[in-house]
Amino acid sequence: MKQYEIAKKKVLTPEISQISVYAPLIAAKAKAGQFIILRVDGEGERIPLTISSAADDLVTVIYQKVGATTLALDQLNEGDCLHDFVGPLGEPTHVEGYGRVAVLGGGLGCAIALPVAKALHEAGNQVDLIGGFKTKDIVILEEEMGKACTDLHICTDDGTYGYHGFVTGKLEELINSGVKFDHVFAIGPLMMMKFACKLTEKYNIPTTVSMNPIMIDGTGMCGGCRLTVGGEVKFACVDGPDFDGHQVDFDEVIARNATYRDFESKAKEAHLCRLGGGALNG
Domains of the chain: 6-89 (2.40.30.10), 100-258 (3.40.50.80)
CA atoms of 176 and 174, how far apart (whole Å): 5
Is the model's pLDDT at 136 over the cut of 70?
yes
More confident: 264 or 197: 197
Mean pLDDT of the chain: 89
Contact 30, 59 (CB under 8 A): yes
155 close to 130: Cβ distance less than 8 angstroms: yes
pLDDT digits (tens, 9 = 90+) for 51-65: 999 999 999 999 998
83-112 pLDDT, tens digit per residue, is: 999 999 999 999 999 999 999 999 989 998
Determine the Cα–Cα distance for residues 22 and 56; give it in Å rounded to an integer.
9
Residue range 266-275, pLDDT digits in tens: 555 554 555 5
Using CA of residue 10, residue 16, residue 18, residue 19, what is the dihedral sign? positive
CA–CA distance, 133 with 186 (Å, rounded to integer):
14
When pLDDT is cut at 50, 70 and 90, the band that residue 280 belongs to is very low
Prediction pTM value: 0.85
Give the pLDDT confidence score for residue 142 in this predicted structure: 94
pLDDT at 183 > cutoff 50: yes
Report the distance separating Cα 58 and Cα 53, nearest Å: 8
| pLDDT, mean of residues 227-245 | 90
CB atoms within 10 A of CB 182: 14
